Every structure is written in C-alpha cells, then in structure tokens.
Amino acid sequence: MNLFQLILKQIRQRSLSTVLTVLSIALGVGLAISILVLQRESQNLFGQTEYGYEVLAGVKGSGLQLTVNTVYGIDQSPGNVKYEVYEKLTKDRVFRQDARIVIPQCVGDTYKGRPIVGTIPQFFGYDNDAQRIENVEGEPARRFEYRPGRSFEFEQGTVFREDRFEAVIGSDVPRLAGLKLGDAFQATHGSPTAGAPADVHEEKWKVVGVLKPTRTAADKCVYIGLTSFYTIFEHADAELARDKIRRGENPATRNVRKEEAHDHDHADHDHAGHDHAGHDHADEHNHEHRHAHYTITADGRIKLDQDVLDAREVSAILIKARGGFNALNLINNLNLQPDVMAVSPATVMREFFGNFVKGPSTLLLIIAALVIVVASIGILTTIYNSVAARSHEIAVLRALGATRNRILTLITAEAILLGVIGGAIGFVLGHLLAAAGSAYLERAFGEPIAWTRVSGPELLCLAGTVILAFLAGLVPAIKAYSTPVATNLSGA
C-alpha cells in the first residue's frame, strides 16, 4: 500500500464530508472560472477594436444606444437623422475624402420579433444592379465588411433590389421566424409586447436571399431595401410630420394625394394586404399603381413621392473610413452638423465595458474568490476534524514507522488532492456555465463567445485553489505532525 492509496483510503472513509468539501470548492472555482471566461469574452465581444467600420452616425443623443441598437440589434433606436446626412456623406467632398463606404440603415419594424432593417445592397457587398462588388488586390477593400475581413455571403438566393419589395434574411431567421427563400411576409410596426395587438403593415416583401451564418446579430435580422422601407405608410407619414415640424408647419394637415398619375380609378381600391411581392405589376397591367406615398412603376419599381423623398430619414449610418485619421475627421465633422452625432462604435463599447460591465464582474470575481476561500476553510475544517478524530490512527502509523514528515505529507497531500479534484470539477463546471452564458449572449446579441478557450487567469485561479487547499491542509497537518505517539497509543 503506497502513500497515494493510503490517502484515497482515508478520503473514502469520510466520503460524505469529502464530497461536500469537494463540491464547495468546485462551486467556488466554477463560479470564478465562469466569471473569468465571461469577463474576458464579453470584453472581446463588446470591446472589439474594429467592427468593419470605424464611424457610426445617428441622431444626437446616446452613442451607446446608437451603437448597441445598430451593432447588436438590442434596445430602441435613439431616433433618426435626415437622409441628407447620408447624401452629404456620399456626395460632399469634405466627407467623401474621409469616407470610403457609407451604408444607411433604417430600423423600427419587426417580423415575429426579428428586427427589420432597411438598407442598401452595398451593405451586403453588391451594387445597385445586384452585382457583387469585387475587391482589387493591393487596394483597400471596396466591399463592405461587417467585421474586419468578413463580408456577407449568401447561402441561398441573392441580394434584394433596393427599390423592390424584396428581402434578405439572416441565417437564423428561418429557424426563429419560419421564413424561407420565396416566402412573403408583412412587417409589424415596432416590437409589440406579448398580448398587445400588433400593427401589421399592409406591404408584403418576398424573401430573395438567405445569408450564410456570420455569428453576429445580422444572423437574426430581416433586411429590406431602403426605398421599400419608406413605402410603409406609417413611416412615410411620420417622417412627413417630423419634416413639417422641422419647417415650422402644422403636422396635422395631411398631404392631398394626387391620383392623376394613375390611368384608372383607385378611389375604391383597397390597398390593405396588397401583395406587391406576390405578383408582377408589369405583366398584369403594364401601368403604374398609385399608393399613399409611392407609385409602383410599370416595371415593378418603387417610386417614392417627392414629399416622401424630401422627408426621408435614416436611423444609423455605418461608415468605413479611408484611414484612422479620416475616421477622426469624420467624427469631428459630423458632430458639427446639426442633430447629427458620430461615434466610434469600438470606443463606445470599450467605455461601456469599462464603466458598466467590468465593475460588476470584478465584484462577482471577488465574491467567487471569497467562495473559494470559504471552501478552503471547509477543507481545513474537514481535515482538521478528521485529524482530531484520527489522532490514534496517526499514532499507530507513527508506531509502524511513519515519520512526522510522512504524516505531514499524508495530510497535506490529502488536502491538495481535494483541492485538485474540486478545482478540476470547478474548471469544467465554470466552462459549462460560460457555455450557458454564451448561449444567452448569442440569443441576446447574436454573437456567441469562445467559452472553451482557456486563459492564464483561469490557470492562476486553479493554481491558487490548490495552494489554498495546501495551506488549509497545513494546519491539521501540523497538528498531526505534533501528535504525541506514546500518549495517543496508550490513550486508545
């Protein structure tokens, strides 16, 4: 019987207290490890140095709200800026010299809880003619990248035409919302709460493309053409009303729609549920359809009314700058514009992480460390009590030739073994907790975390646990070390 077998035997003799001690260590270590993994990974997730675009522009207000809404699809949009801001970015020399790619986005509607984003084909790396934008080797990327070096790719179908009732869906949308290629759907205004009546818009979009997984929030989004987004009656009306307010006019005076462009009478025509996606106007009528704020041309394209065109707004503008200095220029110049705010999403998220996430997670880490310390005191108590109860046994071992140092080794090795077993279980437990956290983060933000990755602080935590276990075992070991053999033998 070697020393290790002897230790295992002693541990088995007190199986219940051993299991409870190991469990408490495992819980403490598991908690600490999961916090370490989640802290590290959430820092990676939210504190990314680059998002594929350096500047995010939106309405003046909360940069954090603008960023988390645009990048992670959570929280409400902080509001809209005039479409001219986007136009300025693409046309004005002062901005063009700094901005390489400019992508507008409109948000506000949902389909079965999935956010609907109005945008342009360039977001997916396609031009207005649905042709893939090709990068030129040795030159900066022309194609938009949602993360550095990563552009959208299609699993099925292709990009929408921006001025048609066509949609592209993220890779998780078929599973989450039941949509598939070729399906038609109607958008719901906002995000209605459970039980509340949903305000379903009358327009119908047809799914023409399904994206490949990106492991970002985009996987859970439904994308429609920006022009088609403005056709939604409520959007157009709201934008017109806001436009009037800006001009000092009364928003209650409605626009009188002209029907003269139409060559047949639509006065009694009910547009509710009118399906533009499901049929081809050109084939059936070969004429234009008048709607509240737009016209469907003979070739099926959406033509917005001028007042709607004038009143257009965007929720966010994603800008890929020509360089780091250009990004700063853009931020400074955009912030000089009335009602416009420009931020670096990376900086915003880093600050958010530093101010709001790191503090509480550090606190949790301290709590976890305290749990480990308490668990170590558990080791001390368990082994100390067992040593007190085993003083006679220890005396017998001494009489059989065990030196004081062997007894010291026996007891501390037992404590270390408990620490190692508890630490190992806790390590696995911690990563499983992190896996659960990863699933939650993926549901909430669309991005999972690398929960299997092992980092230095985790190994330090394990080493610290074993050292604490050793120190906890040292106290009873010293007691065992000083156990008087003769007294304990004769006293038995």
Partner 1 sequence: MPLLLENLTKHYAAPDGTAMTVLDVPHFELADGEHVALLGGSGTGKTTLLHSIAGIVRPDGGRVIFRSGQGETDVAALPEADRDGFRGQHIGYIFQTHHLLPGFTALENVLLGLTFTGRKADPAWARHLLTEVGLGDRLDYKPAKLSVGQQQRVAVARALANRPKLVLADEPTGALDPQTAQQVLELIRTLCREVNASLILVTHDMNIAGQLERVVRLDELNRRGQAAVGSGQ
Q: How far is the CB of 394 from partner 1 (least distance, A)?
A: 10
Q: How far is the CB of 353 from partner 1 (least distance, A)?
A: 53
Q: How far is the CB of 436 from partner 1 (least distance, A)?
A: 39
User: Which residue number, 49 or 482, has a Cβ lying nearer to partner 1?
Assistant: 482
> To which residue do tokens 């292709």 refer?
158
Q: How far is the CB of 74 from partner 1 (least distance, A)?
A: 58
User: Which residue number, 334 or 383, has a Cβ lying nearer to partner 1?
Assistant: 383
Q: How far is the CB of 26 from partner 1 (least distance, A)?
A: 25
User: Which residue number, 7 or 117, has a Cβ lying nearer to partner 1?
Assistant: 7
Cα gap 39→365, rounded to integer Å: 9
- Please say whether the beta carbons of 207 and 111 come within 8 A: no
User: Which residue number, 49 or 385, has a Cβ lying nearer to partner 1?
Assistant: 385
Q: How far is the CB of 21 from partner 1 (least distance, A)?
A: 18
User: Which residue number, 19 or 460, has a Cβ lying nearer to partner 1?
Assistant: 19
Q: How far is the CB of 417 from partner 1 (least distance, A)?
A: 17
Q: How far is the CB of 17 from partner 1 (least distance, A)?
A: 14
The partner residues of 341 in beta bridges, in order of sequence, read 58
Contact set with partner 1 (CB under 8 A): 1-3, 6, 9-10, 12-13, 392-393, 396-406, 485-486, 489-490, 492
Residue partners of 472: CB distance under 8 A and separation at least 6: 376, 377, 379, 380, 383, 415, 419
User: Which residue number, 136 or 400, has a Cβ lying nearer to partner 1?
Assistant: 400
User: Which residue number, 336 or 400, has a Cβ lying nearer to partner 1?
Assistant: 400
User: Which residue number, 1 or 267, has a Cβ lying nearer to partner 1?
Assistant: 1
